[in-house]
Amino acid sequence: MTSILWLRRDLRRRDHPALLAARDAAGDGDLVVAFVVDPELWSGGGAARRAWLAANLRALDESLDGTLTLLHGDPRRVVPALAQRVGASSVHVTRETTPAGRRRDEVVAKRLGESDIDWVETGTPYAVGPGLVVNGSGDPYKVFTPFSKAWRAHGWPDPAPTPRSLPIRNARNDAEATAALDAALSAPDLPELPPAGEEAALRRWRAWRERALENYADDRNRPDLDGTSRLSPYLKLGVVHPRTLLADLHDERGEGAHTYETELAWREFYADVLHHQPRTAWEDLRPEMSRMRYSEPEDAVEAWRTGQTGYPVVDAGMRQLLAEGWMHNRVRMITASFLTKDLHVWWPLGARHFLEHLVDGDIASNNHGWQWVAGTGTDASPYFRVFNPVTQGLRFDPEGDYVRRWVPELAHLPGKAAHEPWEHADGYAHGYPERIVDHAVERDEALARLEATKR
């Protein structure tokens, strides 16, 4: 008997319930572990995202002794064709929870069923699958804090065991798929990416946990420090499962461990919101905010994208994004607020830019995080809360180290002076641009537009 494990957001061996289910279904037969390079999704992301995915697929293939089957094309056609070709009796997956993924899987499952091939979903990319945490009335939570309490009370299973051996056979790689990976990894001007693969993820986790977990509650908001785990790129592709991390924190009782659990809960909350409200992938969760008047200032948006707004911490964040395919979470909030509240641009434009470049770009966390800042989503930071990019920089990058790292035009300004070049005679001596807007004026404009929605 032959079974197929079709990988999507689960590129690992450890703590992988769908892998175990596929192995058990194969019995004494063959197990085919496959990944499909979908041209539609492949072309939808930037070079860094493609390279990060390619690097982790290569690392997984190595951990599977070169047996990973790489295919190319529309999965709705490719997966049923593979099942027919290898004589599979079942196709196993980790359950998809995004709207597009669920629509795709419905088609694949239907086509497999027409050939009497079983479609088996086991587990999700989350510690608690979206839809499982509900209130006393059986309804989903709309606010994070009660969700997080119920999420902790619900609990999650222990990590799945790691199989010692797997009866995997390669079912013939598609030349287009291997060529796509080769091209992604050799693309010009790629940012410096983290080490790929499950072992690298776990090494990063262990080293960071020992060094920085204790101070995480305070240091996580400091972009000038290496205070965050930076595991989000691995979580995005399922190179490590959140359940694995939570199990490792089980005996930790400090504030840092509790705060880290809470950050994982935010990720699961946003996935739950998207599960129940799939329209919110690209629409405001709060429909009353649809009356907001937005602007489309092309030159200012381009300045934002390229880190040329004249606000140092904003520009540092946008340049880090382009250079690393990653941005510190506090700075994500600052840059998002600047686009939505200072430039008055509707959040999906910024969300798309982030998803193009972020190697950890996840539609649920990214897009609902943008709505939180924009004041149109869950528990929203109210629309009238407008991040001041100067005070945010002074508070969370107090010595200006983060700014100087990414904005070399300000490297000559010592300490906190890097946040306010306009206050110093030589602030613009090295070509840093002047501010494209006056924050105080634009804050008043943002509040005026909010009041207009209430009329």
Last residue of a domain, one of 123, 142, 175: 123
Query: For position 166, what pLDDT does the model report?
Result: 92
Query: For position 455, what pLDDT does the model report?
Result: 74
CB 85 within 8 A of CB 171: yes
Same domain, 76 and 130: no
256 inside domain = yes
CB 52 within 8 A of CB 193: yes
53 inside domain = yes
**Which of the two residues, 306 and 382, has the higher pLDDT score?**
306
The tens digit of pLDDT for each residue in 67-86 reads: 999 999 999 999 999 999 99
Same domain, 140 and 258: yes
Same domain, 49 and 90: yes
Q: Across the strands, what pairs with 119?
A: 91
**Side chain identity at 22, as an amino acid letter?**
A
The tens digit of pLDDT for each residue in 204-241 reads: 999 999 999 999 999 999 999 999 999 999 999 999 99
Looking at the predicted structure, is the pLDDT value of residue 382 above 80? no
pLDDT band at 44 (very low <50, low <70, confident <90, very high): confident
CATH number of the structural domain spanning residue 251: 1.25.40.80
Structure tokens at 316: 């540092």
Same domain, 116 and 130: no
Last residue of a domain, one of 95, 123, 151: 123
Q: How many structural domains compose the chain?
A: 3
Query: What is the rounded average pLDDT for all residues in the chain?
Result: 96
Phi, psi of 72 (to 5 degrees): -140, 135
185 inside domain = no
Q: With left for phi above 0 and alpha for psi between -120 and 50, is residue 165 left, alpha or beta?
A: beta
Last residue of a domain, one of 276, 300, 322: 276
Same domain, 441 and 323: yes
The tens digit of pLDDT for each residue in 159-172 reads: 999 998 899 999 99
| Residues 422, 416: Cα–Cα separation, whole Å | 12
Q: Which residues contact 358 (CB under 8 A, 6 or more apart)?
A: 49, 321, 325, 326, 327, 366
Query: For position 383, what pLDDT does the model report?
Result: 67
Query: For position 450, what pLDDT does the model report?
Result: 87
Give the whole-number percent of the chain exceeding pLDDT 90: 93
Same domain, 297 and 219: no
The pTM (predicted TM-score) of the whole model is: 0.96
Same domain, 224 and 318: no
Same domain, 260 and 214: yes
Looking at the predicted structure, is the pLDDT value of residue 380 above 70? no
CA-nearest of 264, 262, 225 to 243 is 264
The arrangement of strands across the sheet holding 2-7 comes to: 69-72, 30-37, 2-7, 88-93, 118-121
182 inside domain = no
pLDDT band at 351 (very low <50, low <70, confident <90, very high): very high
Query: For position 381, what pLDDT does the model report?
Result: 58
pLDDT band at 451 (very low <50, low <70, confident <90, very high): confident
Average pLDDT over residues 105-111: 98
| Residues 158, 127: Cα–Cα separation, whole Å | 9
Same domain, 265 and 364: no
Query: For position 229, what pLDDT does the model report?
Result: 97
Query: For position 165, what pLDDT does the model report?
Result: 86
3-state secondary structure of 436: coil
Domain with 306, as residue range(s), is 287-453
Same domain, 385 and 448: yes
CATH number of the structural domain spanning residue 365: 1.10.579.10
How many CB atoms are located within 10 Å of the residue 357 CB? 23
Average pLDDT over residues 272-283: 96
CB 165 within 8 A of CB 13: no
pLDDT band at 391 (very low <50, low <70, confident <90, very high): very high
56 inside domain = yes
| Residues 373, 389: Cα–Cα separation, whole Å | 13
Average pLDDT over residues 21-44: 95
In angstroms, the Cα distances linking 356 to 45, 85, 115 are 5, 35, 37
| Residues 197, 59: Cα–Cα separation, whole Å | 5
CATH number of the structural domain spanning residue 97: 3.40.50.620
The tens digit of pLDDT for each residue in 236-255 reads: 999 999 999 999 999 888 99
Same domain, 106 and 133: no
399 inside domain = yes
The tens digit of pLDDT for each residue in 402-411 reads: 999 999 999 9
146 inside domain = yes
Same domain, 425 and 304: yes
57 inside domain = yes
Q: With left for phi above 0 and alpha for psi between -120 and 50, is residue 73 left, alpha or beta?
A: left
CB 300 within 8 A of CB 389: no
